[in-house]
Amino acid sequence: MMNLNLLIILPLLCALGILAGNRNAAKWISLAGAVVQSVLAFILLIYYWHEEHIHPETRWFFSERHAWFPSWNIDYFIGVDGISIAMILLTAAVVLAGILVSWHENKMTREFFFLLQLLSAGAYGFFISLDLFTLFFFLEVAVIPKYLLIGIWGSGKKEYSANKLALMLMGGSALVLIGMLGVYYSGGSAGTFDMVGLAVSHIPLAVQKVFFPFLFIGFGVFSALFPFHTWVPDGHSSAPTAASMFLAGISMKLGGYGCLRVAANLMPEAAHMYAPAIIALSTIAIIYGAFATMMQTDFKYVNAYSSVSHCGFVLLGIGMLTRTSINGAVLQMISHGLMTALFFAAIGMLYERTHTRELNKLGGVMKAIPFIGGLFFLAGLCSLGLPGLSGFVAEMTVFTGSWEHPETWYRVATILACASIVVTAVYILRSIGQAVMGPATNPTFHVLRDARWNEKLASVVLLCGILVIGILPFIVYQLIAPGTDHLYQQFQHLTLLNP
């Protein structure tokens, strides 16, 4: 029997071990912990496939419940399905890659790796939570480490960026808290935070109308929902490389997961009612993010605004409420997490060697650092949706699911979202071409050192995920399909489409 508590206990033990050791030991303890967490995630996957094959009717696997605050009916209630496991695997990959990329971090090394382990514990706890209060607790665990990582180890306007990120995410958390309390006191199963029970009970429509926006917008802030996306460019641009990878690769997925698993799943009628607004905001984010990216001159801002656009596809898939679009939303969360982590890793490698992220000051580095230059092209081609890479599979699934709606507005939104691919191709090819191709703009660029062993290993970890989804998408689809099918059943009677 798989014990999900290990996913939380292991990072916490690593964090304590890091504080007890010296600087060099902190790196190895953190790396060993990340490797063990990755192995544990794959063991969880194997156990899940075995149990799901034997008991296909089971909704949640390896669940356990313990009273936490009995007087308020708050339980430590955890369990997983295929969607949760996919997010856990994504978290394990990004954390491992982030630690490898940060191998030569010399500033307050123990504290740096301690915060990374604390972030991973919060993410794992979030994805396995089946109690709203427990889920909210783990959502909040990660806010302070993000603030500290940017404020202490960041660059540029790091204090401003850290404060802005913390305030906006805490604002989103406040909205989530209001929505949770509304469900707790007014739901069909009033007086409970049990997500499983709330999903099968019928929360009154009047309650859904009022509190769905709080939950969706609250989680949407974490996922760069327009117009609450402004923390993303500043936060990503000022964060150290590993923090940028975590923010874009995992933290923004907490928001998308919350929008799908909590807001839409618990309040399906309100989700259908507010779907046009969700689709409108998602389409604006996709188009705005793409055009805003074209105006950027800092490579990190390019990837940050690109993330706003790509996360718009996640929310678009959720807003469409079809089985295919929901699958696409989950696939896009995984794909974007891997792709943007790889992009930020490559940007960090380039910045360490050239000491600049300005596109007009870069150029001609491909000859000196072909491995790092190749990473930019692979991440960029994934971003613009090249077949064979995860971005193509995820975005095409969202588009296909969106086009299933016969209504004109849904078709228009789908066409506009598809058109953004052209803009994405323009800014990706132009940015990468300007940064790594052509003649060298600085004589010192001829003698740059290519990727080290740790950087190559981090890149391979992320690239494997991108290629598996791009070439063998059915593996991921089979993993997430039971979970997405169940979610779709919540909306089936509310749509005009046949299942």
Q: What is the pLDDT of residues 68-126, one digit of tens each?
A: 888 888 999 999 999 999 999 999 999 999 999 999 888 888 999 999 999 999 999 99
413: pLDDT strictly greater than 80: yes
Average pLDDT over every residue of 59-70: 90
Q: CB under 8 Å to 431, separation ≥6 — which residues?
A: 299, 302, 359, 380
258 lies in some domain: yes
Please report the pLDDT score of residue 53 as a whole number: 84
Please report the pLDDT score of residue 495 as a whole number: 42
The pLDDT-based confidence of 187 (bands split at 50, 70, 90) is: low
Rounded Cα distance, 163 and 206, in Å: 36
Eight-class DSSP state of 81: -
441 phi/psi in degrees, rounded to 5:
-85, -10
313 lies in some domain: yes
| Alpha carbon of residue 256 to chain centroid | 7
Rounded Cα distance, 145 and 156, in Å: 19
251 lies in some domain: yes
Share the mean pLDDT of the chain: 89
Please check whether residue 339 is in contact with residue 390, taking contact to mean a CB–CB distance below 8 angstroms.
yes
The pLDDT-based confidence of 499 (bands split at 50, 70, 90) is: very low
Query: Hunting for tokens 């979202």 — which residue is that?
Result: 417
What are the CA-CA distances from residue 18 to residues 122, 195, 289, 331 (Å)?
Answer: 17, 35, 39, 34
Worst-scoring range by mean pLDDT, 308-312, 336-340, 433-437?
433-437
The pLDDT-based confidence of 242 (bands split at 50, 70, 90) is: confident
278 lies in some domain: yes
Rounded Cα distance, 60 and 65, in Å: 12
What is the domain extent for residue 421? 6-494
440: pLDDT strictly greater than 80: no
| Coarse DSSP helix, strand, coil percentages of the chain, rounded to the nearest 5 percent | 75, 5, 20
Determine if the peptide bond prior to 227 is cis (ω within 30°): yes
380 lies in some domain: yes
pTM above 0.75, yes or no: yes
Please report the pLDDT score of residue 1 as a whole number: 65
**One-character DSSP codes across 414-462:** HHHHHHHHHHHHHHHHHHHHHHHSSS-SSGGGGG-----HHHHHHHHHH
CB burial readout 344-373, b (16+ within 10 A) else e: bbbbbbbbebbebbebeebbbbbebbeebb
Please report the pLDDT score of residue 405 as a whole number: 84
Q: What is the pLDDT of residues 286-302, one digit of tens each?
A: 999 999 988 888 888 88
Worst-scoring range by mean pLDDT, 152-166, 189-203, 419-433, 464-478?
189-203
The pLDDT-based confidence of 190 (bands split at 50, 70, 90) is: low
Please report the pLDDT score of residue 214 as a whole number: 95
Task: Quote the number of domains for the chain.
Answer: 1
499 lies in some domain: no
1 lies in some domain: no
**One-character DSSP codes across 117-175:** HHHHHHHHHHHHB-BHHHHHHHHHHTHHHHHHHHHHH--SSHHHHHHHHHHHHHHHHHH
The tokens describing 196, both together, are 């499983």
463 lies in some domain: yes
Q: What is the pLDDT of residues 306-322, one digit of tens each?
A: 989 999 999 999 999 88
The pLDDT-based confidence of 24 (bands split at 50, 70, 90) is: confident
498: pLDDT strictly greater than 50: no
Please report the pLDDT score of residue 341 as a whole number: 92
Amino acid at position 391, single letter: G
Rounded Cα distance, 109 and 105, in Å: 6
Q: CB under 8 Å to 23, separation ≥6 — which residues?
A: 106, 109, 110
Q: CB under 8 Å to 88, separation ≥6 — which residues?
A: 7, 41, 44, 80, 124, 127, 128
Rounded Cα distance, 371 and 453, in Å: 11
Average pLDDT over every residue of 398-423: 90
Classified as helix, coil or strand, 359 is helix
Rounded Cα distance, 413 and 283, in Å: 6
Continuous segment of H or E residues that includes residue 62: strand 61-69
Q: What is the pLDDT of residues 371-390, one digit of tens each?
A: 998 999 999 999 888 899 99
Q: What percent of the chain has pLDDT over 90?
A: 49
Eight-class DSSP state of 66: E
Please check whether residue 60 is in contact with residue 79, taking contact to mean a CB–CB distance below 8 angstroms.
yes
Candidate ranges 19-28, 173-182, 429-438; pick with highest mean pLDDT: 173-182
